[in-house]
A = this chain, B = another copy of it.
């Protein structure tokens, strides 16, 4: 059932066209990286990864930022923020809502497939992580701004 890199790239191409975006080398490279590696990654990391995989032409870091912004608008990727002043991006898989658990020391990132908003308290001890804290903020439109 696992998709080959080629299949994924084909999917990406189609998603871009469906979104009305031009299919450029830069966009293909970035989305290819994001769909093959396990993120989330910062813009700089993506930039590095693209350059590391010599398969594609080098792209500018500014282009990475612009593409990621566009992808996020289109819902192709989702951004997350670990509070360290750097945005991170990962491919958005429909119907797979998750959060992250980040190690304060090594920065390892694990996916938490549960969402406390759903209903149940998380049973985090399972993960083996210690000294767990969390960052949670809500965003919405306040009554006044709703008109």
Residues of A near any B CB (own CB < 8 A): 80-83, 85, 87, 99-106, 108, 110, 112, 115-119, 121-122, 124, 127-146
Closest to A145 in B: B105
- Of B80, B131, B144, which contacts A140 at CB under 8 A? B131
Q: Which residues from B are CB-within-8-Å of A81?
A: 81, 83, 135, 137
Q: Report B-chain residues with C-beta under 8 Å of the C-beta of A106.
A: 142, 144-145
In Å, the complex CA distance between A138 and B104 comes to: 10
User: Given the complex, which residues of B lie within 8 Å of A142, measured CB to CB?
Assistant: 103, 105-106, 108, 110, 128-129
Partner of A100, one of B101, B127, B138: B138
A98 to chain B, nearest CB (A): 10
CB neighbours (8 Å) of A85 from chain B are: 85
B136 to A134, Cβ gap below 8 A? yes
Additional 8 contacts, C-beta under 8 A, given A105-B141, A129-B140, A130-B146: A80-B137, A85-B85, A104-B141, A108-B145, A116-B117, A128-B143, A129-B138, A136-B137
A133/B129 contact (C-beta < 8 A), A85-B85, A122-B117 known: no
